[in-house]
Structure 1
């Protein structure tokens, strides 16, 4: 489904851009950047949150600083393509904290997971004790990231 962005005006786009750059800005600081009053910013921000345009806020934590020095991309193929099997796999993803991102794919693999673990031993446990034995999984292929060049990416926004 393509989102109808026609309801967003130039102030909304500037507000979204400012929040992407720094979500910790106060409404007063956002007002200066966007060119509206703090109360107008507050109302717009609330509307964008209620509509789901703004899905949330979070701090960006350096994984290595908290002992998660290995980033892995894991391709998963399901053993059958049924609604129940997909639900079981989605439940596994939702309940596994090491899985940072999960994407359904076209092509050879059904899903691509981004996983953060402390070391290769922990990766081995994750693959061999969590993914492979799961009833929904047929095949797993993992690729270890040697270096992260860009993360997290800001969404490209139209010029206002």
Structure 2
């Protein structure tokens, strides 16, 4: 994702982004009506938002429970060394694990925070033992399991 200044978008661009975050499959005609533009200028603005990287991907949101992924774990990782080599090794490894939904480099008492999605506690144990703890440099793993989501948003505030 490019790091772009937010001051380069106006209220119409913000409305386009807000509408598409709620329904990324709407037609340009519907989008133009919702933001108060005719279809041609709306499509031009949409293409500009895409080419400048403000819209960088379109996705379908899948309910994890509906596909059997019922366990969400938040895992905090400490590395034995925080040099560039160990950070890169860890980041490259976790990027390849399908169970890792999010990974953040952190400040504080953990180096990384991960959100893991798996089918069962047994699947989490396998992930932990066969993948996560085998990454060179991992010295501490602390896990918390989510009981249920309270707030889950995919739309960013614009």
TM bin (shorter chain)? over 0.9
1:22-70 Cα deviation digits (max 9, x unpaired): 1111111100001112221221111111111112111110101111000
1:2 Cα offset (Å)? 7.0
Give the TM-score normalised by the residue count of structure 1: 0.93
Matches within 5 A, 1:90-105: 90-105=91-106
Give the TM-score normalised by the residue count of structure 2: 0.94
User: Structure 1 stretches (4+) deviating beyond 2 angstroms?
Assistant: none
1:78 Cα offset (Å)? 1.2
User: Distance between the aligned counterparts of 1:117 and 1:2, measured in 2?
Assistant: 32
What do you get for the CA RMSD once the two structures are aligned? 1.4
User: Distance between the aligned counterparts of 1:15 and 1:6, measured in 2?
Assistant: 15
2:29 maps to 28
User: Distance between the aligned counterparts of 1:152 and 1:93, measured in 2?
Assistant: 23
1:67-86 Cα deviation digits (max 9, x unpaired): 10001100011121111111
Unaligned runs of 5+ in 2: none
Q: How many residues align?
A: 157
2:132 maps to 131
1:100-138 Cα deviation digits (max 9, x unpaired): 001111000001000100000001011111111211311
Unaligned runs of 5+ in 1: none
1:12 maps to 13
1:82 maps to 83
